[in-house]
Structure 1
Amino acid sequence: MIALSQFNGLSKDEAVGLLAPCVAIPAWGETLVNLRPFASRHALLQTAREAMDYWGEDELNAALSAHPRIGEKPTGGQAHAALSRQEQSAVDSENERLAQALQEGNARYEARFGRVFLIRAKGAAAKRFTGADAPTAAYRRRRSD
């Protein structure tokens, strides 16, 4: 994690590079970087949310497609791969039953909505993402809408 004062002081290229693993939309990162300095963490987060309001379908698809499916472990040394591995550390890919449940839930969600199911996994128990949980529950909620 980096302090806000450090983020505000980074060069444009360094700051854009730091934000790239967060969202795979270069224009989003560039917008935030160009609006520095931020007076508070709240101001930075609010600006990040507001910048998302301008995403179209293509940007949303690009952002979602850059993330691995829940239960998939990305390889490589890139920052986004390391962040995803850390976030999904509670999901045991060696557990075949869990892996199968995640794969089935992901497939149902993608078949219904045409995009990857994305959820913040950091600190969550793996069981949250199986059975009547995560992809399945999200699928059921969205289906009833």
Structure 2
Amino acid sequence: MTSSTTPGGLARFNALEEHAAHAALREACASTAWVRTLLAHRPYTTPDDLFAASDAAMAELTAEDLAEAMAGHPPIGRPKPGDPTSSREQRGMAGASAELKEEMLELNLAYQERFGHVFLICATGRTGEQMRDAVKERIGNSPEQEREIVRSELGKINRIRLARLVEEENV
């Protein structure tokens, strides 16, 4: 495989030293197992190959691996200070009313009490109201149902983050 057949950002990612690639992937997902799996399959020929590897790795994560991945995500409505990724992804809550932000805080706490982890949703492109409605709907799920929804939402988030990683001029 030559870099002339691989998109530029992906070629740069493939060429990263192991520790730098590990750090870049860790920014996308906090699961050690997911990161290891994606590193083990480098180099990738196309972004779709990278996304497929991510999806396959997500499908194999244990409950403990999912918990580790979720621990890397701040609650909806409270992005990590100084973290442009969580701020960008949660943009839908930025202009929310004080009432909606307070309601999301209460719902986040109720969800966390029920499931033992942060409410996780692919927030990109969603309004604050859509995220509120999603937590209200999902809080009634069984833990097993919710674990699989979380797995799916994490997969969506990882794809978005990986796309940004391989599109960026400097990985």
TM-score between both structures, scaled by the size of structure 1: 0.82
RMSD: 2.0
**Contact map agreement 2:111 2:118 (CA 8 A) in 1:** yes
**2:101 equivalent among 99, 105, 127:** 99
**Contact map agreement 1:71 1:93 (CA 8 A) in 2:** no
Q: Tell me the equivalent position of 2:113.
A: 111
Rounded to whole Å, the distance in 2 between the matches of 1:129 and 1:54 is 27
Deviations 1:73-121 (A, max 9, x none): 2114xxxx32101111221377320111101221222222222110111
What code does the residue aligned with 2:121 have? Answer: I
**Contact map agreement 1:72 1:93 (CA 8 A) in 2:** no
Which one scores higher on RCO, CA 8 angstroms, separation ≥ 6? 2
Rounded to whole Å, the distance in 1 between the matches of 2:70 and 2:98 is 25
Rounded to whole Å, the distance in 1 between the matches of 2:138 and 2:131 is 10
**Contact map agreement 1:4 1:41 (CA 8 A) in 2:** yes
List aligned pairs for 1:73-92, cutoff 5 A. 73-76=79-82, 81-92=83-94
Unaligned runs of 5+ in 1: none
Q: Please identify which structure carries the higher helix content.
A: 2
Q: Give the paired residue count.
A: 136
Q: Tell me the equivalent position of 1:14.
A: 20
**Contact map agreement 2:96 2:128 (CA 8 A) in 1:** no
Rounded to whole Å, the distance in 2 between the matches of 1:75 and 1:118 is 18
Rounded to whole Å, the distance in 2 between the matches of 1:129 and 1:28 is 26
Moved over 4 A (4+): none
**2:50 equivalent among 40, 44, 47:** 44
Q: Tell me the equivalent position of 1:136.
A: 136
Pair 1:57 & 2:63 matched: yes
Which moves more between the two structures, 24-33 or 6-15? 24-33
TM-score between both structures, scaled by the size of structure 2: 0.71
